[in-house]
Chain A
């Protein structure tokens, strides 16, 4: 097991180096002069020379890459031109919003998708099955941005004066300012506590700010549902087909033959094996969620990683593009690694081969 872990871990190192190289290369291929992008069109040549000197932009490209790797390794992702703060500071402020959104979406996708998949797999070809599969097909075909806008229209305009009305954008009602937990608890403010306090819902929960909590939850529902739809459909389909595969196996017949209740055959025997590919899919939905987050955050006006990244691209804030892309790609690799390990844990056969 330890050897497997090590091998799997080592095999992701070239990929991470490749990611660093690609991000580095792309950031340098973006048209425009980094100096003038940072200091404005009217920067003189002397100023730009000094700027390039200071940031090592006059060095050979390989040396620059070396400097870049060293900076990344020491946690220095550069400074945002637009906001004038380190990229890491922006990440501290904005990553939690995206994690919260993606986490809520994944939770909805799993909580709804898995049971739907089980029911339609078990009641294969029934009306429920057909309806679920039609729904799943439509679900994966829906553009996230369109679904988001339609949800906004339905819940913020059409149902405006009903109890079902939901806020169409933003993270909190206007005027609400959450008290960070470190202030409430008298802890020092540092990168970690600030990062943690940006998880609005968790922060409100542990400090009992009920008004903030309910506002944050209500604001999260629509974007989370929009973002959850595609993974939900995928998870439902995967659960269904995987359960169908397993239900045809001999050991399930044995379990039935020895007179186990159907409930326990499905839930205890079949499901355990049927969930293996589902776990992989759930892990891999992460990439989909991050891609979808760019669109969802733009539509629902949430200042998360996706929206920041998109704004940075349109305003040519290259260090932010570079830093955020890197963080997203590396976290994607880490999630895949974790999924692989989880899979190994769940299915011992993988370890043997």
Chain B
């Protein structure tokens, strides 16, 4: 009755290692953590798998980094909108009664755009109102990479690596909205809500690192490695805490839009990639599809079995605007985002890949990416996993 089964080759390998007295004597908790990391075979070193447990715009908010102040909360913003479309103070007061649930407000907000004097949907036509000039970040620190190789006066410094010349205009554009602000490990509220709302439907993102070699004390040896980031065929399963459950098995979706493989080097437990193009399908409610050019990735392989890092590069800014514009007034009223304001900010601060008019189509950015242990199975791999060559403890087929 039993049929072919997969097995944890890595687990067997680690078990053998743990049984050696030398390993037991010095591995300590780090060894326990490394055992918890699902592993599979690799030609050099091991393969470690993860499921992405957090991916979003990297924030590093500090007091004073928005010298013009933070962008207003929704109630103030909506009052301004109503005033700008010609409502008297008394009318504004009347409309704001019961905010944000006053049904009379939404149509006014949604149709506040004007083209040739006609009302239009502001989210579909974000340039149909004047630039509201949202406040932007003037601070010193932001996560990311020096993408253009230059160190300019207004560039950021990465707070983790101290790399200068960091290009992260996306953070500059959004970082003065209340709901985008946080100091790690805290998560900004808007991305956190967006992430949480999409987890149960969106197929998970998964990471594999090939070529990891651990020392006896659990630290990672320096050397070459390859990182894969893919979309899985199913979503994460949540544990009791509402977080993704670790050690689950994920099958990689063969959709060519979500296949990313990049080489790099591990140094002091941190993987740093070569440049690559990162393309991933996301959730329509968030960003339908990422296409990060000239991307760089750094991933810290932590002793507790998780990974955390930064993915940076140049991302076309229009899909990012869609993330704000698509939900329409819901975002503006509930999350205090000024959709056309963001449109203008992204457009102005875009810093790469100009079109024929000279308008830059992409904006430098940085995303935080975190992963917890998981088994990641590529479509062609089950037979390889169970082969005698790669799996000396090969599973028997009944």
Tell me, yes or no, whether A binds B.
Answer: no
Q: Enumerate chain A interface residues (CB-CB to B < 8 A).
A: none
